[in-house]
A and B are shown apart, each in its own frame.
Chain A
Amino acid sequence: MIYLIHICVGLFLMILQSSVKPYFKLFDGFYDLLSVFVIFLGIYRPVRESLSMAIFVGIVMDTLTGGPFGLYLTIYLWILFGIRAGISFLHIKSFFLLPIVISSGVLAGSIISSFVAGMAASEAVFFSKALWMAAEQVFWAVLTGTLLLSFIRYGYSKLNRWQNELFIKKGTHGFFRRAEK
């Protein structure tokens, strides 16, 4: 059940950025929302869940975008790897560290994407433009990343509470047995 919820959230974010976001000029330079979802999974969900979901959303993104197959899989797995490595020696759930963690994740995604897009680029000014795009994405990530992550976290905690009321009171197991601590 929890996987179904993860899939729904992932698909919702994907559709939001492919079918709704393009109609708002303001968000042209916005970062990849799924990076934040993967960061959320990396920080607050068990490894098995986060790894399988990173692979799932990575594959779906790879088939929807024009990039080479494996690009988003690579980005999400490296973000997840970085988060899990960071968790072992940093308290990255801290309110002050979260914007840095999110913007670092977005920056990592931008660097890998620009590297891959750059392989096909013929224009000399590509890297200055790529730098500008990456800076714009990091700016948005610093500004709104924590908010989005908190929103996702809030949604999950609401679902958690709802399932507790619905199932645990009745003595059955819920969807969130390994819910965040």
Chain B
Amino acid sequence: MMIVGLVILVLVNITILSVNSSRKYSSYGLGRVTISMIAPLQKVATRLSHFAKSVWNNYFYLISVAEENDELKSAVKRLVEKNNQRLETEITNSRFRKLLDLRASVSHDIAVAEVIGKDPSQWFKTIIIDKGSSEGIKKGLPVIVSGDIAGQVSDVSSHYSKVLLIIDRNSAVDALVQRNRSRGVIKGASDGECQLDYVLRKHDIKPGDTVISSGVDGVFPKGLRVGYVSDVTKPDFGIFQKINVLPYVDFEKIEEVMVILNPGEKGLLSGSRP
């Protein structure tokens, strides 16, 4: 009797999970409350992590290799600390300058946001950013990094949002191979890569080809870069080829992103890109 009950429980559980996975972004409003609750803490923790990392990389490491006397050591420490601050400011400045340059070249309204948390699960790829509905962010808006596609807003609270990255298996972006305009769908795969699905065997795709958004999905404006083809396999059977795509965005080092607030209004980026 207990075994029958257990089997029924498992079946009900699987059914509920299957139904929920077929529904996109459904956290029944709880998402907003939870993100609002957790995100400020994540923001503090992220800042602390950055600080600890910078101290570890530039301060303690140097202490261990310094064999000078105490006076020199403290002088070096002070200089290193100052230098580290200067370097960090320089890097941040150059990053912000790039963002501003890009912001000027993009013909859309843009909101720049900082990444304050990553998906606590290894199996899914999302990030939490520090901009929400009060800054004009809405569910479904495209998210880019230096003009390359990073993902799509999947949940929004008043000051924070969750972004589903293109390397997540639930993500899909309608895409084109820039060189010969072959169409396919970019889907997330393992190891931070993507796959370009549904490209017919007859199309000539080569490693190194750039993949861009087609604009057909109504989410991403046409012409944004997604990644480049890293591997092409034509199986012995089937009508499609297997294409691996390496995203241009380095999701391991992602710190700031830009959300396109009016993706449907205009088309391409105004500047030409390499």
Residues of A bordering B, CB below 8 Å: 11, 14-20, 22-23, 28-30, 32, 34, 59-72, 74, 78, 113-114, 116-117, 119-126, 129, 133, 137
Contacts and interface: CB of A to CB of B under 8 A. Distances in A.
Interface stretch (B82-90, B113-121, B263-271): B113-121
Given A18-B119, A63-B33, A122-B195, 4 more contacts: A15-B38, A64-B120, A117-B124, A122-B187
Given A29-B122, A113-B123, A64 B169 contact: no
Contact of B154 (A16, A60, A66, A123): A66
B21 A119 contact: yes
Contact of A119 (B18, B53, B197): B18
A20 B45 contact: yes
A109 to B, nearest CB: 9
B20 A69 contact: yes
12 contacts: A11-B38, A11-B41, A14-B120, A19-B49, A22-B118, A28-B122, A30-B122, A63-B155, A68-B20, A68-B23, A69-B27, A120-B21
A28 B27 CA distance: 26
B27 A63 contact: yes
B191 A117 contact: no
Contacts of A15: 38, 41-42, 45, 117
Contact of A129 (B28, B155, B191): B191
A158 B169 CA distance: 43
A137 B122 CA distance: 10
Contacts of A22: 118
Counting chain B CB atoms within 10 Å of each CB, the highest count among A59, A74, A123, A126 belongs to A123
A135 to B, nearest CB: 12
A64 B35 contact: yes
B118 A18 contact: yes
B26 interface: yes
B17 interface: yes
Contacts of A119: 18, 21
B128 interface: yes
A74 B118 CA distance: 22
B17 A70 contact: yes
Contacts of A19: 41-43, 45-46, 49, 116-118
A65 B124 contact: yes
Which applies to chain A's interface (DSSP): helix, strand, loop or mixed? Answer: helix
A11 B37 CA distance: 10
Contacts of A114: 123
B168 interface: yes
Contacts of A32: 120-122
Contacts of B49: 19-20, 23
Contacts, number: 143
B92 interface: no
A123 B46 CA distance: 33
B131 interface: no
B53 A23 contact: yes
6 smallest beta-carbon distances between A and B, as pairs: A66-B124, A19-B45, A66-B126, A68-B20, A63-B34, A68-B21
Contacts of B112: none
Given A65-B124, A66-B124, A18 B117 contact: yes
Given A11-B38, A16-B45, A71-B17, A66 B120 contact: no
B164 interface: yes
Contacts of A11: 38, 41
A29 B121 CA distance: 10
Contact of B195 (A29, A78, A123): A123
Given A29-B122, A63-B27, A117-B169, A126 B190 contact: yes
A50 B197 CA distance: 44
Contacts of B191: 129
B183 interface: no
Contact of A66 (B20, B117, B168): B168
Counting chain A CB atoms within 10 Å of each CB, the highest count among B23, B30, B41, B120 belongs to B120
A30 B155 CA distance: 26
Interface string B220-250: 0000000000000000000000100000000
Interface in B128-152: 128
B158 interface: no
